[in-house]
Structure 1
Amino acid sequence: MTTNATDTTRWSPPGPDDLPRDELQAQLEVYGETILLRGFEGDRAWVRTVSADEIANAFTRHLGFASGLLPEDALWWNQGETGQVVALWRPARVWPVALQREAFQPPARLRLPMPGLVFVCSPARAPWVYAATQRPTDPGQPLYRAPAFNVFRDGRTCPGSHRFPEDVGKIPESFFQSFFSLTGDTRDRSRKHPDNLQALWEELDGRTDYPLEDLVPQCTVGQAMAAGEGRRGYY
């Protein structure tokens, strides 16, 4: 395609008229289902369709993404919609928790055994949380619903007034330092108590091991990785 040289392909910052003008070399046009890359060379122009991956690759060549040093027990790292995402593994253990049964009353202090947990973390943001029977090593490995309050059905957590740290390595412990509330949808977190997560917690209080056969399947490791990149969640 041919075009004549017009002011539409030149630009200069606001200011005196004698400032140098910059030549437009290329522009992206984003439509509902198509992305066009239009280039200008002298008085000629060309156009072709491009994919989102091509655009991302072009920019990453100049940005130089790198993970840096990762926290201990890191499972994977990626660049999500909200920035860097690090998945962390916490083996099965007993966690001290504070359960707010009634508003304006002191919380109940419990000691709960939890299965191994996967925390998908971004700095200063509420994490995604999944349960696992063992440390994930394969994208096809199953993950389970976290048997905890303050967790939505898709694995996202509700921070309430709790502030999570910038250091992603501290986010799993920060999650259990927050106050847990009985509000929210907590169905299907337990096979034995599908409609009463509070009953499960009271039953587990003081025990040392979580009954893995009670876990409810949710998704695979690969699907959790995709959710962390912002592609979708799994209910």
Structure 2
Amino acid sequence: MTNLTTAFGTLYHPQKALLVYKADQPQNASYYIEAYDLDREGKPMNAHPLSLAEANSLLKALQTAERKKNGLLTLSGLMPKNVLHLKTDHNPYAIWHTPAQSVPLFFKQDLGIPSGLCTMPALVWKASKKGIAVYAIKDDAEITLDTPLYHAPFFNVYADGRVCMGNTQNSIPKDCSLEDFIRLWQEAFYNSYFSHLMQNHLPVKGNIVQLWKSLSGTGKPFPAKMLIANQYTLKHLIQ
């Protein structure tokens, strides 16, 4: 008989077997899981209740397999220098920063702010596949866990930093690389129309309409004195 073992690729050896028991009571849906270690011949031994450590190890293995299958936040090259933190297991997200720069912004017509090239402060972004939050920082020369965060000086942003994307479609594929993930979220943010304040949250000192009127198309640097501290630091974004 022909040995076909090598045709199947990676060879896996059995390590553990689980036996799941369910309570025989309709009103009690509790379960009990018994774990067995397997010897070199694959025979079960050492029966014992599944421990928390074993359950966590199994969870991590399943999450790793799922992440490899989906490919979300995988690297297509070197780690981008502006990435501050990356979580790739359960509920993956990325935190990155952008320097003070000029970017085209679009404003809803009834605000009376002309759309155009606007200067903005350095920003810190935190995004998952489901949503994005943005914060301002005054100095991005050396960002640490203790770097203080400020409210992002934009319309459409809640007090906690979450961005209301309105009708903007989430175009983040489940196998999105980290580089594309960052690019797509920033494009979605900057290509949306800034239209209103969220729940009466005032993100800057003074009049936000007058602020952006003075910046749109003028080339003036963003006045850092207008930023309002939100009492958080970068470490509060890392969960």
| TM-score bin, normalised by smaller chain | 0.5 to 0.7
Shift in Å, 1:174: 2.7
Within 2, Cα distance between the matches of 1:91 and 1:28? 56
Q: Which residue of 1 aligns with 2:26?
A: none
Q: Which of these residues, 196, 213, 224, is aligned with residue 182 of structure 1?
A: 196
Q: Which of these residues, 207, 210, 220, is aligned with residue 199 of structure 1?
A: 210
How many pairs does the alignment contain? 189
Q: Which residue of 2 aligns with 1:120?
A: 126
Shift in Å, 1:68: 3.0
Change (3 A) 1:27 1:74: farther
Contact 1:71-1:169 at 8 Å conserved across structures: no
Change (3 A) 1:120 1:28: farther
Contact 2:35-2:48 at 8 Å conserved across structures: yes
Q: TM-score, normalized by length of structure 1?
A: 0.65
Contact 1:120-1:127 at 8 Å conserved across structures: yes
Asked if 1:209 corresponds to 2:221, the answer is yes
Contact 2:63-2:89 at 8 Å conserved across structures: no
Contact 1:101-1:182 at 8 Å conserved across structures: no
Q: 1:69-119 CA distances to partner (integer Å, 9 max, x unpaired)?
A: 1455222111476x321122111011211110439xx98313321101112
Q: Which residue of 1 aligns with 2:187?
A: 173
4+ runs of 1 displaced by more than 6 Å? none
For structure 2, list consecutive stretches of 5 or more residues without a partner in the other structure: 1-16, 24-29, 37-43, 173-179
Shift in Å, 1:55: 4.2
Asked if 1:158 corresponds to 2:164, the answer is yes
| C-alpha RMSD of the superposition | 3.6
Change (3 A) 1:137 1:68: same
Asked if 1:25 corresponds to 2:38, the answer is no
Q: AA paired with 1:212?
A: A
Change (3 A) 1:24 1:50: closer
Within 2, Cα distance between the matches of 1:84 and 1:75? 14
Asked if 1:132 corresponds to 2:132, the answer is no
Q: AA paired with 2:159?
A: R
Contact 1:96-1:111 at 8 Å conserved across structures: yes
Contact 2:150-2:227 at 8 Å conserved across structures: yes
Within 2, Cα distance between the matches of 1:38 and 1:118? 44
Q: TM-score, normalized by length of structure 2?
A: 0.64
Q: AA paired with 2:19?
A: Q
Within 1, Cα distance between the matches of 2:88 and 2:143? 20
For structure 1, list consecutive stretches of 5 or more residues without a partner in the other structure: 1-22, 30-34, 227-235
Within 2, Cα distance between the matches of 1:28 and 1:179? 53
